[in-house]
Structure 1
């Protein structure tokens, strides 16, 4: 099968397209998916660079989510049938390949009104946003939600699902185009976080603060969040790239909370409810993944660059395996054994 592979941790140039990678073997509890599209996420770039707590054994294929068609099911699997359209998360083998092995509990039906490229953006962004909003923050209809970074994959997912659940959605973006996208997807008010006085503007408009804050870059924004959160408010840290110093008194004065959110800590019994809720919103056309750009499998290195730059975040970046591979980089055999 065709598969993107990383043979040594480091820069994006270490991603190569291989043409004769063995198809993964599945266990009785797993599903083999013929991948039609794979999502590309920041976590993929952390793993590929070697800056991640749990690194895979080399060589490996990147990709932690995708969508496709069930090719084979294990002997114990009763929840799926061969030929079914599905989306998935946390594959055993990477999703940036023609086939991926996935535990059946991480595979979910893909509604007929959702394309494979759209489905490829559900497994991390929408599950993470749902877990942050409704499992960890326990957001209720009528509450206000501020999304610090509302135009990335998780941010836009939270905007859409929050709106669908009757929450008042506010947020930030880095460009006028990003602001327009967030507003079009259900946000009530979006400010530019590149403006020096954006926090003061929000404080003047929302003197009581926000009930829930979703934070995508805590090492930069957490002190702003402590000012913006309301009494008894909840700050969910979804993304972080460094350390920051805060004054705990800010939490004490409002009895607010800082909650860490990591999709990998989701318990198995939580997945069916989360996926069913997301699928219900998809079927009712209440939410729709926003695709920023589609790349061919041979262009995965460029997709990683785009994710790392974050210069114009406005939706998901996906690899569409039906797109023709225009170039096939050769992997030197000497390096492939490192």
Structure 2
């Protein structure tokens, strides 16, 4: 099989295309023939050594993907050969990820892809959708399902990003009123396509000032927002405290705009806030499985989608172009970067 590998942490040029034997699934595993692989910021950061150091002679990048079950390992009763599946957190816990024609994974990391769902969508779930799920369930609601967020208002910062888009789609499906912030008219169009009810472009005249932006959000949600999905806490924390309702939750999944967060303690005490910091690879197994279940249910219901009509432009690369795909994500490509494997 063809696979992309790297033997040391470094720039995208450290990766090379090579031939490797098709792996055999061990006990509790399935072998998947990949059709698409998704590329996320975590992939280039792991490869570059920013969030993990290579401990094996070689590694293949990629956490997310979609394809077909080709072989079943001993003890697996949950899958059948020929079953379409989407994969999550593949390179976490093993050296071999999804930038290859075949990969073996523990069976629970291969989730059935609903009939009619595309491999493009399947490869776009994983990290973004499951991170969005955890961000949404960090407050008073434990599962994302129809009407589970009825009556709640959610603020999603960066609604045109992959996690932000997934958070919008999931929250709308669950019955929430969704407000999102964006930085351009083009990103506003993507957030609208994702289903956001209210879109605030903070680059518009006057809205780059904290008081004006906070006022614009408070006009939409006079009692404050119940939960915030936060991508840039160092930049947005004063705004977040100004617009969140008492006893609300700020769920933080990234550090865009700064690596340090400073907050006034007494003013924050009075709001009885909950700050929930999220890294997908460190949450409990029960939360991972809940996310996989709820994301799969949303896909089956048609509530999650990709493509420009759902606010997620797609960028396709061939396997031999994996370095360019990584570079595109690192450069901030808007939408979803995918690697085509057939």
Instruction: Report the TM-score, using the length of structure 1 for normalisation.
Output: 0.88
CA shift at 1:100, angstroms?
1.1
Matched, 1:176 2:185: yes
Aligned match of 1:292 in 303, 308, 314?
314
Structure 1 portions without partners, runs of 5+: 323-338
- Distance, in Å, in 1 between the alignment partners of 2:189 and 2:55 is 39
Matched, 1:219 2:234: yes
- 2:66/2:86 contact within 8 Å kept: yes
Count of residues in Structure 1 that have an aligned counterpart in Structure 2: 319
Cα 1:154–1:137 shift into 2, 3 Å: farther
Task: Give the secondary-structure state (helix, strand or coil) at the position aligned to 1:254.
Answer: coil
Aligned match of 2:275 in 255, 258, 283?
258
Cα 1:296–1:219 shift into 2, 3 Å: farther
Counterpart position of 2:171: 162
Task: Give the secondary-structure state (helix, strand or coil) at the position aligned to 2:285.
Answer: coil
- Distance, in Å, in 2 between the alignment partners of 1:159 and 1:213 is 11
- 2:224/2:245 contact within 8 Å kept: yes
Counterpart position of 1:192: 201
- Distance, in Å, in 1 between the alignment partners of 2:2 and 2:247 is 51
Matched, 1:279 2:279: no
CA shift at 1:291, angstroms?
4.3
Structure 2 portions without partners, runs of 5+: 142-147, 307-311
Give 1:291-310 correspondences, 5 Å limit. Answer: 291-310=313-332
- Distance, in Å, in 1 between the alignment partners of 2:97 and 2:271 is 43
Counterpart position of 2:128: 125
Counterpart position of 2:71: 72
- Distance, in Å, in 1 between the alignment partners of 2:234 and 2:13 is 28
CA shift at 1:135, angstroms?
4.9
CA shift at 1:89, angstroms?
0.8
Deviations 1:244-270 (A, max 9, x none): 322223321211111011222333334
Counterpart position of 1:329: none
Cα 1:194–1:2 shift into 2, 3 Å: farther
CA shift at 1:215, angstroms?
0.9
Give 1:1-338 correspondences, 5 Å limit. Answer: 1-18=1-18, 20-53=19-52, 55-91=54-90, 92=94, 93-136=96-139, 138=141, 140-194=149-203, 197-198=207-208, 199-205=210-216, 206=218, 207-240=222-255, 242-289=259-306, 290-310=312-332, 313=334, 315-322=335-342
Instruction: Report the TM-score, using the length of structure 2 for normalisation.
Output: 0.87
- Distance, in Å, in 2 between the alignment partners of 1:32 and 1:291 is 29
Deviations 1:208-267 (A, max 9, x none): 321111111333333332333221110001112522322223321211111011222333
- Distance, in Å, in 2 between the alignment partners of 1:271 and 1:12 is 29
- Distance, in Å, in 1 between the alignment partners of 2:162 and 2:227 is 18
CA shift at 1:8, angstroms?
1.7
Task: Give the secondary-structure state (helix, strand or coil) at the position aligned to 2:104.
Answer: strand
- RMSD over aligned Cα atoms: 2.0
- Distance, in Å, in 2 between the alignment partners of 1:55 and 1:181 is 36
- Distance, in Å, in 1 between the alignment partners of 2:140 and 2:314 is 28
- 1:30/1:102 contact within 8 Å kept: yes
